[in-house]
């Protein structure tokens, strides 16, 4: 409600937005060190808009959940259950399953958010393993995932610590962490799909190697084959991620993934084309920010 005077809540939200803008702008500068100022500005604005949309969507979901819970408590048949839940949470032994915060359900809101960030961080590490590690060496894959996850967690913690020192709320910190992880996951997923797609392609035919022109009538079939290759690479990536997730969660790093269920029909042939695709997604030394 517009009262015509200063509002502490509005000042709080405005400061929260300023922190988000500065954090995202700094992240864009790190991600695109060689880009022009205009490109960095456009990228930052696009990410800020997406972050605001994500935050609004989460707020709507949270409000809808709150309304549903209130409606349930108000209904006559649900009142006894709601009362029992309140009594359960008010018992001395009721606490969060992680932080042991009193008067909480199985998990408090903060622990739920942190758990969601941890799950996303693990998914990024698994995707990066497909793009950068040798999937034929399970022990190396396990070591890579542990190291990559620790480094990425340290980066996210540093980013959140800086935003917290500037007054960011816990909700904003969770949003910034998820945004950073989603952008990182998108980059490594693109690299992994490029490697899997190039490894599944057949060697070029002698005609194409000699530079002969393709008959116009084959253009449609080539386009369809390219789409099928992309879809096949996506399926292989999801299968490989599921296998990596299962093995890493169970602590089993024995056995070759390339000879197992993941590539039973077709082994992963990195070759020179796959190697080039992998190297193309790695930053050059001069692109790294010290």
- For residues 51 and 82, membership in a common domain is answered with yes
- For residues 169 and 248, membership in a common domain is answered with yes
What's the average model confidence in pLDDT over 135-141? 79
Residue after which a domain boundary falls, among 63, 91, 119:
91
Of 3-7, 10-14, 138-142, 204-208, highest mean pLDDT: 138-142
SS3 32: coil
Q: Between 44 and 54, whose confidence is greater?
A: 44
Instruction: Count other C-beta atoms under 10 Å from residue 124's C-beta.
Output: 23
Residues pairing with 95 in the sheet: 102
User: Is position 218 within any domain?
Assistant: no
Rounded to a whole number of angstroms, the CA Rg of the chain reads: 25
| Tokens at 21, concatenated | 């803008």
How far from the centroid of its chain's Cα atoms is residue 109's Cα? 20
Distances (CA, A) of 42 to 10, 55, 89, 185, 263: 26, 20, 48, 21, 41
- For residues 114 and 252, membership in a common domain is answered with yes
How far from the centroid of its chain's Cα atoms is residue 146's Cα? 17
The answer to whether residue 245 scores a pLDDT higher than 50 is yes
Which pLDDT score is estimated for 86?
A: 47
Which pLDDT score is estimated for 209?
A: 40
pTM greater than 0.85:
no
10 Å CB burial of residue 28 (0-12, 13-18, 19+) is: buried
- For residues 49 and 167, membership in a common domain is answered with no
Question: Which of 232, 240, 72, 45 lies closest to 141 in space, CA to CA?
Answer: 240
- For residues 149 and 188, membership in a common domain is answered with yes
φ/ψ (deg, to 5) at 33:
-70, -30
Residue after which a domain boundary falls, among 61, 91, 121:
91
Please spell the DSSP secondary structure of 105-165, one letter per residue.
Answer: -SS-HHHHHHHHHHHHHHHHHHHHHHHHS-TT-HHHHHHHHHHHHHHHHHHHHHHHHHHHH
pLDDT digits (tens, 9 = 90+) for 46-57: 888 888 888 777
User: Is position 129 within any domain?
Assistant: yes
Residue 172 lies in domain: 108-202+231-283
- For residues 177 and 263, membership in a common domain is answered with yes
- For residues 255 and 148, membership in a common domain is answered with yes
Instruction: Determine the Cα angle at 243 with ends 238 and 248, to 5°.
Output: 125
Give the total number of structural domains in the chain: 2
User: Is position 268 within any domain?
Assistant: yes
User: Is position 223 within any domain?
Assistant: no
Q: What percent of the chain has pLDDT over 90?
A: 1
- For residues 264 and 163, membership in a common domain is answered with yes
- For residues 67 and 187, membership in a common domain is answered with no
- For residues 121 and 189, membership in a common domain is answered with yes
């Amino acid at each position: 409600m517009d009262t015509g005077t200063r509002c502490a809540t509005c000042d709080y939200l405005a400061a929260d937005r300023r922190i988000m803008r500065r954090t995202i702008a700094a992240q864009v500068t790190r991600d695109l060190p060689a880009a022009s100022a205009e490109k960095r500005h456009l990228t930052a604005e696009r990410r800020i808009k997406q972050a605001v949309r994500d935050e609004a969507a989460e707020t709507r979901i949270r409000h809808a959940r709150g309304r549903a819970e209130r409606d349930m408590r108000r209904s006559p048949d649900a009142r006894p259950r709601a009362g029992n839940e309140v009594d359960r949470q008010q018992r001395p032994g009721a606490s969060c399953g992680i932080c042991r915060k009193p008067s909480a359900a199985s998990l408090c809101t903060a622990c739920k958010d942190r758990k969601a960030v941890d799950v996303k961080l693990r998914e990024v590490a698994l995707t990066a393993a497909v793009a950068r590690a040798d999937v034929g060496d399970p022990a190396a894959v396990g070591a890579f995932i542990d190291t990559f996850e620790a480094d990425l967690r340290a980066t996210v913690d540093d980013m959140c610590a800086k935003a917290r020192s500037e007054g960011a709320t816990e909700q904003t910190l969770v949003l910034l962490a998820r945004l950073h992880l989603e952008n990182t996951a998108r980059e490594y997923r693109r690299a992994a799909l490029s490697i899997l797609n190039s490894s599944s392609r057949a060697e070029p035919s002698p005609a194409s190697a000699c530079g002969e022109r393709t008959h116009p009538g084959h253009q449609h079939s080539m386009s369809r084959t390219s789409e099928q290759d992309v879809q096949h690479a996506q399926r292989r990536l999801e299968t490989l991620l599921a296998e990596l997730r299962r093995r890493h969660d169970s602590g089993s790093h024995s056995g070759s993934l390339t000879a197992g269920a993941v590539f039973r029909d077709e082994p992963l042939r990195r070759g020179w084309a796959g190697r080039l695709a992998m190297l193309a997604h790695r930053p050059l030394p001069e692109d790294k920010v010290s």
